[in-house]
Structure 1
Amino acid sequence: MSERIAIALAALLLTASGASAREVVPFRESVSPGTIVIRTGERQLYYVRGDGTALRYRVAVGKPGKQWFGEARVDGKYVRPAWAPPSEVKRDNPRLPDVIPGGAPNNPMGARALTLNLGEYAIHGTNRPSSIGTYASYGCIRLLNQDIIDLYDQVSVGTRVVVTP
C-alpha cells in the first residue's frame, strides 16, 4: 500500500471514529471569557478563554433561510436528551414521531444539549457526524458528540452565546 493511500485511510478512520474537531486558537476579540461565539459563515464555534485564546469547534449550522443571528443565553443543560420535533420540522417531516427518546440512534440531539433561551434552538451533539462543517439544521448548532461533551462540561446555565453571519 502506498504512503498516500495509508495516510488517506488513517484520515478516514479518524473521521469515522469521531475524532475531535476542537483546537485551541488565538482569539483577540473583546469578548468576555466564558462566552460562546458562533460564526455561521465559518461553521465554527469558539468558546472564549481568559488567556487570549478560544477553543474552536467545527459545527453544522442552520440551512439558508433557517439561520438566526444575535445573542442568547444557555438556559438548560441535558444529558442524552429526548427530542420533540418543533412544529416546522414536523410539518416538513410528518412521519417523525412526536418524541424520540434520549439515546435512540435516530435522536438528532446526540450526547448532550445546551438549550437556548430563544425557544426551539440548542447547541447539541448529532447522530449525523458527516453533517459537521455544513449548513444542515433548522437553526440549531451541531457538534460532534465528543465535542459537545467537552463544551458541556465547561459551560453553565447563563452562558452568553453570540451568533454572527
Structure 2
Amino acid sequence: MSSKIAGAAAGFLAVTLVAGTLAATSAQAAPSVVNFHGEYAPGTIVVKTGERKLYLVVEPGVAVRYPVGVGKPGKQWAGVTKIDGKYRQPAWSPPADVKRDNPRIPDVIPGGSPANPMGVAAMTLAGGEYAIHGTNVPRSIGGYVSYGCVRMYNEDITDLFSRVSVGTPVVVTQR
C-alpha cells in the first residue's frame, strides 16, 4: 500500500473514530423536539418528575425534551416557580439536609471540580434551594437521585442555558 493511501486510510479511520465518539455522546444527550400537550406558554420549562423528563415549550403543542434526574423518594416537590439566577461553573454549598445526611461533605465545592454536583452550569429556582443543573455523574440521568434538584447531562444544561433567561417560568409536576 502506498504511503499516500495508508495516510488517507489512517485519516479516514481517525475521522470515523472521532465521529463515532461524538455521535455516541450526542445521542446520549441530544434533546428531542416532540409534540407536547398542555396549556403552557412558549418559553415555559415543564419538569415531569414521573417521566424524568424536562420540556421547554417552544410553541403551542411543541417542546424540546431532555432526559433528567429528579428528587429521590421523599425529596421530590411540585410547584410553580421561575429561574432566578444563571451560573457557569458554579461553586456549590450543600444545603442543610444534604450536610446532615453527609456530614463529611465539604462546606463548599469549587466550580469546575469533578466532585461538584452542579456540573458545567446551574439555573437556580426562586423560593427554595433547588436548581436545574448539569452533572458530573451522567449515569444518574433518568433516575430518582437528587435532593429535589433537576439534573441534566452537561451538554443538555448548556443547550437549555442558552435558550432561557432569568424569569423563565418553571412548572414541576409529579406526573
| TM-score strictly above 0.5 | yes
Output the aligned Cα RMSD: 1.7
Cα 1:118–1:18, aligned 2, differ >3 Å: closer, same or farther? Answer: farther
**5+ long unaligned stretches in structure 2:** 1-19
- Is the contact made by 1:21 and 1:144 (CA closer than 8 Å) also made in structure 2? no
SS of residue paired to 2:28: coil
- Is the contact made by 2:40 and 2:60 (CA closer than 8 Å) also made in structure 1? no
- Is the contact made by 2:84 and 2:167 (CA closer than 8 Å) also made in structure 1? yes
Q: Which residue does the alignment assign to 1:5?
A: none
- Is the contact made by 1:18 and 1:144 (CA closer than 8 Å) also made in structure 2? no
Q: Which residue does the alignment assign to 1:90?
A: 99
- Is the contact made by 1:74 and 1:157 (CA closer than 8 Å) also made in structure 2? yes
**5+ long unaligned stretches in structure 1:** 1-9
Q: Which residue does the alignment assign to 1:119?
A: 128
User: Does residue 34 in structure 1 map to residue 43 in structure 2?
Assistant: yes
Alignment map for 1:72-91 (pairs within 5 Å): 72-91=81-100
TM-score, with normalisation over the residues of structure 1? 0.89
2:37 and 2:149 mapped to 1: Cα distance?
26
2:70 and 2:30 mapped to 1: Cα distance?
15
Residue of structure 1 aligned with 2:24, choices 4, 14, 17:
14
User: Does residue 148 in structure 1 map to residue 157 in structure 2?
Assistant: yes
Deviations 1:98-123 (CA, angstroms, capped at 9, x unpaired): 00000001000001100000221000
SS of residue paired to 2:111: coil
TM-score, with normalisation over the residues of structure 2? 0.84
When Rg is computed on C-alpha atoms for both structures, the one with the higher figure is 2
Q: Which residue does the alignment assign to 1:6?
A: none
State the Cα distance separating 1:18 from its structure 2 match: 7.8
- Is the contact made by 2:41 and 2:60 (CA closer than 8 Å) also made in structure 1? no
State the Cα distance separating 1:51 from its structure 2 match: 5.0
Deviations 1:132-153 (CA, angstroms, capped at 9, x unpaired): 0000000000000000000000
Identity of aligned residues (%): 62
1:50 and 1:18 mapped to 2: Cα distance?
24
Letter of the aligned partner of 1:59 in structure 2?
V
Q: Which residue does the alignment assign to 1:139?
A: 148
Residue of structure 1 aligned with 2:111, choices 94, 102, 105:
102
Alignment map for 1:52-63 (pairs within 5 Å): 52-63=61-72
- Is the contact made by 1:21 and 1:58 (CA closer than 8 Å) also made in structure 2? no
Runs of 4+ in 1 over 6 A off after TM superposition: none
